[in-house]
Structure 1
Amino acid sequence: MPNFVLSTAAHLIANAVGLLLASLLLPGFAIGVLGLIIVTLVFTVVSVVLLPIIRKISEKKIPELLGGLSLSVTFAGLIITELLVSDFTIGGIANLLAATLIVWLGALIAGILVPKYLFPSLANKKAKT
């Protein structure tokens, strides 16, 4: 299977894990049962689009933001996803801040473990480069 497909699948699974963790741990952070798929897809697309934009703006105007680039993208991705998907509710500023950390951390851990255990060929190719 092509690396792009495996990388995309790993990224989607990692984001789904992060979003699911936030919905389990935070009261008021709600994703509908069928909405998890849609929320994960929208969040992932928004994150992929925002990453280069925020990176470019950061490099030119706010270089300090580069250290927290993934957190910034997660924060913005959650806000935009809530605006776009009706079956998704963050539940306030405190939840938004906590969800940013939970989704980022969950996706980070899953992003390390998913390629290693579910897609070992992808993990092996990354290790060689």
Structure 2
Amino acid sequence: MLTFLIRALIFLVSAALGLIVADLILPGFTLHWDDWWGIVLAVVIFAVLQSILAPWLFKITRRHANALIGGIGLLSTFVALLIAVLIPAAGIGINGPVAWIIGTLIVWLVTALATWLLPPLFIKNKVQDRRS
């Protein structure tokens, strides 16, 4: 149970990092900082959608378009961003095709790196704590 909670927290942190990095470096990709609750909502919506869409899209793609499996992460990131932007209470806005394309790439890359680099830090500490 603790491992599940740690992984969920890592996924939320990675989603937040991806959205914040895109906001900082990409014009047209905006987090509405005056509404902190909207940003929290955007992060949670994005993270939950990403965790649901990726396995579902993988299953569909594997069944019907095997050659597209490599793009599942990008596709699920794009769809999760699209849905998060469409929810009025979420504190995220994306304007223009360049912001959509580059924003998807940035968020995907940062979340992928964070979900790859963060778990060993927390899980290794947990294993060391249990051993002592």
1:7 aligned residue: 7
1:60 aligns with 2:63: yes
Residues 41-80 of structure 1 mapped to structure 2, 5 A cutoff: 41-80=44-83
Corresponding residue number in structure 1 for 2:104 = 100
CA RMSD, Structure 1 to Structure 2 (Å): 2.0
Larger radius of gyration: 2
Provide the C-alpha distance between the structure 2 equivalents of 1:51 and 1:19, rounded to a whole number of angstroms.
Answer: 18
Are 2:30 and 1:30 aligned? yes
Mapped to 2, the partners of 1:64 and 1:4 lie a distance apart of: 31
Identity, % of aligned positions: 33
What per-residue deviation string (whole Å, max 9, x for no partner) do you get for residues 7-28 of structure 1? 0000110111111000001112
SS in 2 for 1:30: strand
> What number of residue pairs does the alignment pair up?
124
* Change in CA separation of 1:114 and 1:60 when aligned onto 2, cut-off 3 Å: same
Q: Which residue of 2 aligns with 1:90?
A: 94
Cα distance in 2 for partners of 1:109, 1:8 equals: 15
Structure 2 unaligned runs (5+)? 128-132
Partners of 1:59 and 1:47 lie apart in 2 by 18
1:19 aligns to what? 19
- Structure 1 unaligned blocks of 5 or more: 125-129
CA deviation after TM superposition for structure 1 residue 111, in Å: 1.4
Query: Once the 2 structures are TM-superposed, how far is the Cα of residue 113 of structure 1 from its aligned partner?
Result: 2.4
Q: 1:114 aligns with which of 106, 113, 118?
A: 118
- 1:122 CA displacement: 7.2
Write out per-residue CA displacement over residues 25-74 of structure 1, whole angstroms, 9 at most, x where no aligned residue.
11121112212211110001111121222112101211122111111111
Alignment TM-score, normalising by the size of structure 2: 0.84
TM-score (norm: length of structure 1): 0.86
